[in-house]
């Protein structure tokens, strides 16, 4: 057989909630009603279909063709076509997963177990699937960018955000996971093999690129980091107009490490005084930047008195190096103050990175896998006893999700056929 070059087709699959399987099979017999149902559902979401370039989408949708998913017991899947641009959309009913024979119930349980912290292997054993099938499922979710899915939920692109990298390991290599988060949602979860400014710039640029495609006038006002040099350099390159602040909590936690060869109570007392200093500076609104400069000088003097010249000098140099970043936090009331939520997100992701051997599969796509995990992080609701019980991160941040079912939301929102 001649080996014809395969055309890479655009993924124009859309998942439609038909409520129950009986409705779907009933509608299969009535083409007009089927198309109307699909259109009504898309309208209810407020989404638009991804037509070909130059098509306004004003044309009609007609039934184009159908095929049988034999492995799913012969479910009929219909394709719809735009009469203007001839783009073809594959309509997947809610009970079928794209390119996968796994039943949604199985996928749902396995993903929830994964999100909850179980290893791929254990999830796979519990749900009677192979670890690789689960790994591929997560990678498939990660085909859509985080920004695309979050803006589909009505969340505005973040004007202020947190940026930080998780340092991790992949077999013997050190790897880094550059992350952008805002409140309870992750906007970027990248993957680099180096901790250089160039590598981080490349990763954060993916977020910037996706954001500018959504909104050409997108502009960042403020970014909070932990003050890591490569992070600062990369963000300054990409977002020259943004205020770059350093996490205050991180500063408080770093201080004890600057104080050597002193008794523990003295170190604790100094940390507590430093905490009070930053806390008070935050409370005073107008004069706080000026006041902070003075207080930091006094604090360094105080360290010299209590812990000796060497420690005093070390703290003074550290303050000198970092204070611009603390000022930046205090000068704009809208700036995030601590990166605690991002640390929490990293810890949640880290548990999966360590445990999942599938992650280290040579043919695996780490970036897609990480994005898939991030979608779960944003869309799986918090447990019953959590502060935001029953809500997912997207909802906590004021976004809306298509249905009450998180897994269906995941299916719909990561569909390739929506614009
Ligand atoms: Zn069209």
The residues, ordered by sequence, that sit 6+ positions from 176 with a Cβ below 8 Å of its Cβ are: 165, 166, 167, 168, 191, 192, 193, 194, 195, 199, 200
Q: How far is the CA of 88 from the centre of ligand 1 (A)?
A: 9
> Beta strands 173-182 and 75-82: pairing type?
unpaired
Q: How far is the CA of 39 from the centre of ligand 1 (A)?
A: 14
Q: How far is the CA of 13 from the centre of ligand 1 (A)?
A: 14
Average pLDDT score over the chain: 87
Q: How far is the CA of 144 from the centre of ligand 1 (A)?
A: 21
In this predicted structure, what is the pLDDT of residue 289? 66
In this predicted structure, what is the pLDDT of residue 245? 94
Q: pTM, whole model, 2 decimals?
A: 0.89
Which of 192-210 are b and which e, b meaning 16 or more Cβ less than 10 Å from the residue's Cβ? beebebebbbbbbebbbeb
- 242 confidence band (pLDDT: 50, 70, 90): very high
State pLDDT tens for residues 326-376.
Answer: 998 888 888 988 888 888 888 888 777 755 555 555 556 788 889 999 999
- 286 confidence band (pLDDT: 50, 70, 90): low
The residues, ordered by sequence, that sit 6+ positions from 1 with a Cβ below 8 Å of its Cβ are: none
Q: How far is the CA of 414 from the centre of ligand 1 (A)?
A: 20
Q: How far is the CA of 262 from the centre of ligand 1 (A)?
A: 72
Q: How far is the CA of 54 from the centre of ligand 1 (A)?
A: 8
State pLDDT tens for residues 246-259.
Answer: 999 999 999 999 99
Report the pLDDT averaged over residues 222-248: 94
State pLDDT tens for residues 156-184.
Answer: 999 999 999 988 877 777 889 999 999 99
Q: How far is the CA of 12 from the centre of ligand 1 (A)?
A: 12
Residues 259, 270 contacting (CB under 8 angstroms): yes
Report the pLDDT averaged over residues 290-310: 91
Report the pLDDT averaged over residues 96-118: 83
């Amino acid at each position: 057989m001649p080996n014809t070059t395969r055309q890479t087709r655009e993924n124009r699959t859309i998942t439609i909630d038909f409520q129950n399987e009986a409705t779907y099979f009933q509608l299969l017999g009535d083409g007009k009603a089927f198309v109307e149902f699909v259109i009504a559902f898309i309208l209810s979401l407020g989404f638009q279909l991804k037509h070909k370039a130059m098509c306004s989408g004003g044309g009609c949708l007609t039934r184009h063709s159908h095929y049988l998913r034999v492995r799913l017991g012969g479910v009929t899947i219909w394709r719809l076509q735009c009469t203007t641009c001839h783009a073809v959309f594959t309509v997947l009913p809610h009970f079928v997963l794209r390119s996968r024979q796994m039943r949604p119930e199985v996928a749902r349980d396995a993903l929830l177990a994964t999100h909850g912290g179980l290893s791929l292997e254990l999830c796979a054993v519990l749900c009677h699937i192979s670890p690789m099938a689960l790994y591929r499922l997560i990678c498939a979710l990660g085909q859509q960018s985080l920004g695309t899915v979050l803006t589909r939920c009505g969340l505005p692109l973040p004007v202020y955000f947190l940026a930080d990298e998780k340092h991790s390991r992949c077999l013997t290599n050190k790897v880094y996971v550059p992350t952008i988060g805002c409140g309870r949602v992750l906007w970027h979860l990248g993957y680099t093999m180096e901790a250089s400014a160039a590598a981080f710039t490349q990763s954060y640029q993916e977020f910037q690129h996706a954001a500018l495609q959504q909104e050409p006038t997108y502009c960042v006002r403020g970014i909070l980091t932990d003050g890591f040099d490569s992070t600062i350099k990369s963000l300054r390159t990409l977002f020259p107009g943004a205020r770059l602040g350093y996490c205050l909590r991180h500063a408080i936690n770093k201080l004890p490490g600057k104080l050597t060869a002193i008794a523990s109570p003295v170190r604790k007392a100094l940390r507590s005084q430093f905490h009070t200093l930053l806390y008070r500076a935050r409370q005073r609104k107008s004069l706080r930047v000026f006041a902070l400069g003075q207080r930091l000088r006094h604090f360094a003097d105080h360290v010299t008195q209590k812990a000796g010249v060497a420690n005093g000098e070390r703290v003074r140099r550290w303050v000198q190096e970092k204070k611009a970043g603390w000022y930046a936090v205090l000068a704009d009331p809208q700036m995030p103050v601590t990166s605690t939520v991002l640390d929490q997100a990293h810890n949640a992701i880290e548990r999966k990175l360590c445990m999942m051997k599938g992650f280290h599969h040579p043919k695996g796509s780490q970036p897609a896998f990480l994005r898939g995990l991030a979608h779960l992080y944003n869309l799986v609701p918090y447990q019953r006893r959590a502060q935001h019980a029953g809500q997912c991160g997207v909802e906590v941040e004021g976004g809306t999700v298509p249905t009450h079912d998180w897994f269906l939301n995941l299916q719909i929102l990561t569909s390739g056929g929506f614009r």
